[in-house]
Structure 1
Amino acid sequence: MENIKKTIIYLLKIDTLPNWIKYISYSYFIFGAVTSIILIYGVKATYGRYNKNSLFKTLSLNPKVAWMLQEMPSFLIPCYLIFTRIGEYNLYNLFVTSLFVIHYFHRSIIYPMLMKSKNPVPIEIFLSAFTFCTFNGIIQGFSHLLYINYNYENTLTFSTLVGIVLYLSGMFINIEADHILRNLRKKDETGYKIPIGGAFKYITCPNYFGEIVEWIGFFIVGKSLPSLAFACFTIANIGPRALQHHQWYLQKFDDYPKNRKALIPFFL
């Protein structure tokens, strides 16, 4: 048992991290489990098609503004560290951190600019997302750029290549799915349609599947407690939401493809 513990500590670089990062990372597992249980038992996160159930119906933000502001901390905080702590990190530290930054550059700038949805974002969703992205930007940025001392011989491995492939594949699936969803309706159309094309052939929520694959890839590249915690939290948060989406489509459309799974092709 002690050997297993030592192996986990070594593989996840736990002994190189300060306590405050460890505690925040551990909290991801707890909050992820709680969130997953709440969503599995039918409570719906009140954004998008479910925003009619929001707690404060009169307090909401424009979706483009909300997405840009709530995701921005996870982009700006690592960028700030990259430019102000030059000389304190090596190229692999920069590479791992850049994967995180690239995702949030897209999520906080490109994605909102392309967004066509007019569903307002409830204030409680915005504040919770902003808070999470702030903490996540801090622990991912500090951990992978400054605290973890990556050794090239131990990091440039086959597993790293696998992680990069997963990260890029997940990003592609995610972006392609978002593009298909954006272009479902013509200019003056309202209402929902059945998405067709890309990974929608196999699953209802390829955007969620792509994001999960992306962050699993990030964990394999980063090989750290914070990246594992983030990947697990992502699965716990959007996995149950994918199941909710799937049931919603089945109930709304009689001709919805019965062979589509919710989240994982051919499986779930």
Structure 2
Amino acid sequence: MTPDTCFIVFLSYFLSSITMIYSLYLTLPQFALDLKYIGVPLFLLGITGNSYHHCLLSKLRKNQSDGYKIPSGGLFGLVVCPHYLFEILGFVGVTFIAQTPYSLATTLGTISYLMGRSYATRKWYLSQFKDFPRERKALIPYIF
């Protein structure tokens, strides 16, 4: 993906989330505990980190004849799928902002799916690259 494409994807996710959150704000009652002030920074951190790591991945494929490579830069030195980690943070941020069962269910489903994908991706890297660092985790630095 080129930087302008990354920006368009970022803008699309951002505007979709803001629109959903605003429509929920108009239709749902206010909660005693307002988690927007935690959710907005989490969402922004998540969408920014996700976009950044996707841009790093896109640079790996500039020359298609090179085959697969081990990603580097950003959090790729610690985990195989940092873009999934930041995507999860974005969903958690939206859940904190919306505070609805629907957003919580969506986030839990997304976490489950991306955990499985990151585990399978790490397993694939270990099988394809003999020099792949075994201490590199799948999704969460130093933990999983």
**1:236 aligns with one of 105, 112, 122:** 112
Of 27, 43, 60 in structure 2, the residue corresponding to residue 167 of structure 1 is 43
Q: Distance in 1 between matches of 2:109 and 2:22?
A: 19
Alignment-mate amino acid for residue 149 of structure 1: P
Q: CA deviation at 1:218?
A: 0.9
Task: Give the number of aligned pairs.
Answer: 134
For residue 132 of structure 2, the aligned residue among 245, 251, 256 is: 256
Q: Determine the structure 1 residue equivalent to 2:142.
A: 266
Between the aligned partners of 1:205 and 1:212, the Cα distance in structure 2 is 11
**1:100 Cα offset (Å):** 6.2
Identity %: 32
Greater than 6 Å deviation, 4+ residue runs: none
Match of 1:147 among 27, 31, 47: 27
Q: Unaligned regions of 5+ residues in structure 2, if any?
A: 1-8
Matching residue's letter, 1:231? T
CA RMSD of aligned residues (A): 2.7
CA contact (8 A) 2:80 2:138 kept: yes
**Matching residue of 2:65:** 189
How far residue 102 of structure 1 moved from its aligned partner, in angstroms, is 4.9
Tell me if 1:101 matches 2:16: yes
Larger gyration radius, structure 1 or structure 2: 1
Aligned to 1:206: 82
Q: Sort the Cα spacing of 1:222 and 1:141 in 2 relative to 1 into closer, same or farther, 3 A.
A: closer
Task: Summarize the alignment of residues 51-200 of structure 1 with structure 2, pairs less than 5 Å apart.
Answer: 101-102=16-17, 144-150=24-30, 154=32, 157=34, 159-200=35-76
* Residue identity matched to 1:262: A
**Structure 1 residues 142 and 174: CA distance shift in structure 2, 3 A:** closer
Query: Which string of whole-angstrom CA distances, capped at 9 and with x for unpartnered residues, describes residues 45-95 of structure 1?
Result: xxxxxxxxxxxxxxxxxxxxxxxxxx9xxx7xxxxxxxxxxxxxxxxxxxx
